[in-house]
Amino acid sequence: MDLSNVDPGGLVLGVLTLLFTVLAGLAVRKMARGEMHAGPQRDALESGDLEPDADDDESVAGEDATALDGPRDDEEPDDEEPDDEEPGPAAPADAPPPKPLREGLSKTRTGFMARLNDLIFKRSLDEDLVDELEALLVTSDVGIRTTERLLQDLRTALTSKEITDPTVVRDRLRAQVAQIVHRDVQPIDWSRGPTVVMVIGVNGVGKTTTIGKLAARLTAEGKRVVLGAGDTFRAAAVEQLEIWGQRAGARVVKGPPEADPASVVFDAIQQAQRDKADVVLCDTAGRLHTAVNLMEELKKVRRVMNKAMEGAPHEVMMVLDATTGQNAINQAEQFKSAVDVTSIALTKLDGTAKGGVVVAICDSLGLPVRYVGIGEAVEDLRDFSPSEFVEALFAE
Ligand SMILES: Nc1nc2c(ncn2[C@@H]2O[C@H](COP(=O)(O)OP(=O)(O)O)[C@@H](O)[C@H]2O)c(=O)[nH]1
Ligand SMILES: [Mg+2]
């Protein structure tokens, strides 16, 4: 063969083109394999035979994860302004100072305290007053059993006409309420690297919002937070969590549409371990086709969390909506029998005149109330302080 006719430049170009084609082909095949990796992992979780450390660094979590400060380049954050239905946190820069708890309780205060004052200052202090107080407390969602406990001492004192000053009635009631809501609660230990919190509760109680507020607060404290989008029942729930995650600067780990929630939280915990995160907050569904399905799913999610990290979840926080009154107690009992609930977050105290439910919850569930929600903004999630609550409730 006579090589003198071959153009050397053309030869080099030809070889380079060939090399590029081969490399591109390899890359495409590798990407396709990465996508398909999610299937077997989910199947393994479903059958329950996934070993704790079975996942490797090619976990699907990384590909589905989104983060404000992390590897996120597929979406424009500006497109994700919250709408009226699913509001995000208020902008911290021009946010007004946090409203006092007393203001958040204003509906309860006018509903309960005004009626209490009406009763004790306008009626004679005798045993009939006990019946009136009983009716007031029960209609404020304190619950019958708790009401009886609260009024035990007052009943004796009023029947024997021992009390002559109305303010004494109020002070004694206040002392009784304080005694019931007071608990020595250990704060959450955030130093477990990561501390895993499973958030549960029926649809619409405020799980996602509470997670978002908590995430914002924890990242503001300098903690690294990962959110697990375990409510895969509705696509909107994942989007809502992503909005909060973006605002808070927390990575959101989600699965493909209709993913197995246990798989998503597994990935979230593993991602958090890789990220050396301090906290994983896992959202869950609150509604499935039947309550039995929901409870079974939550049990499975809990089991799989423990496979991802021994000891997880460290906290199972049940979110209750204060506006649902005594129903909230029934919900909590139902969830408690399925998963080991460790604490309560009580939302929407601002939206009810029946804040007495706090007293019933503290009295009857045997669980600490960790947080209360008194509005939709970030700063409206408060640590529940029993003394502050009693003070705000009984303030003149
Ligand atoms: N007023 C008020 N609204 C709240 C509070 N917490 C949550 N919400 C609202 O309750 C609605 C349902 O909340 P969401 O987090 O989506 O509930 P989820 O279905 O349990 O996740 C949303 O419109 C929230 O803004 C609160 O403390 N106060
Ligand atoms: Mg939700």
Q: Which residues have C-beta atoms less than 6 Å from ligand 1?
A: 87, 201, 203-209, 286, 347-348, 350-351, 373-376, 380
pLDDT in the model for residue 245: 97
The ligand that comes nearest to the alpha carbon of residue 203 is 1
**152 Cα: distance to centroid of ligand 1 (angstroms):** 36
pLDDT in the model for residue 287: 84
Residues found in the chain: 396
pLDDT over threshold 70, residue 94: no
Task: Choose which residue among 209, 210, 320, 379 to substitute to test ligand 1 binding: the one with the highest number of ligand atoms within 8 A of its C-beta.
Answer: 209
pLDDT confidence of 43, banded at 50, 70, 90?
very low
Backbone angles phi, psi at 230, to 5 degrees: -80, -5
pLDDT over threshold 90, residue 253: yes
Cα 323 to Cα 38, 333, 335, 366: the distances in Å are 40, 17, 18, 20
pLDDT over threshold 60, residue 154: yes
| Residue whose CA lies nearest to ligand 1 atom number 5 | 348
Task: Choose which residue among 99, 347, 371 to substitute to test ligand 1 binding: the one with the highest number of ligand atoms within 8 A of its C-beta.
Answer: 347
pLDDT confidence of 95, banded at 50, 70, 90?
low
**52 Cα: distance to centroid of ligand 1 (angstroms):** 34
Closest CA to 123 of 85, 66, 163: 163
**56 Cα: distance to centroid of ligand 1 (angstroms):** 36
pLDDT in the model for residue 11: 54
pLDDT confidence of 60, banded at 50, 70, 90?
very low
139: exposed, middle or buried (Cβ count in 10 Å: 0-12, 13-18, 19+): middle
Helix (H) or strand (E) holding 216: helix 207-220
Least-confidence region, from 49-53, 146-150, 169-173, 246-250:
49-53
Cα 27 to Cα 24, 32, 74, 206, 241: the distances in Å are 5, 9, 19, 43, 32
Calculate mean pLDDT across residues 372-384: 94
Least-confidence region, from 15-19, 123-127, 282-286, 375-379:
15-19
Q: Which residue has the higher pLDDT, 110 or 371?
A: 371
Ligand 1 atom nearest residue 85's Cα: 23
**329 Cα: distance to centroid of ligand 2 (angstroms):** 20
Is the pTM higher than 0.85? The answer reads: no
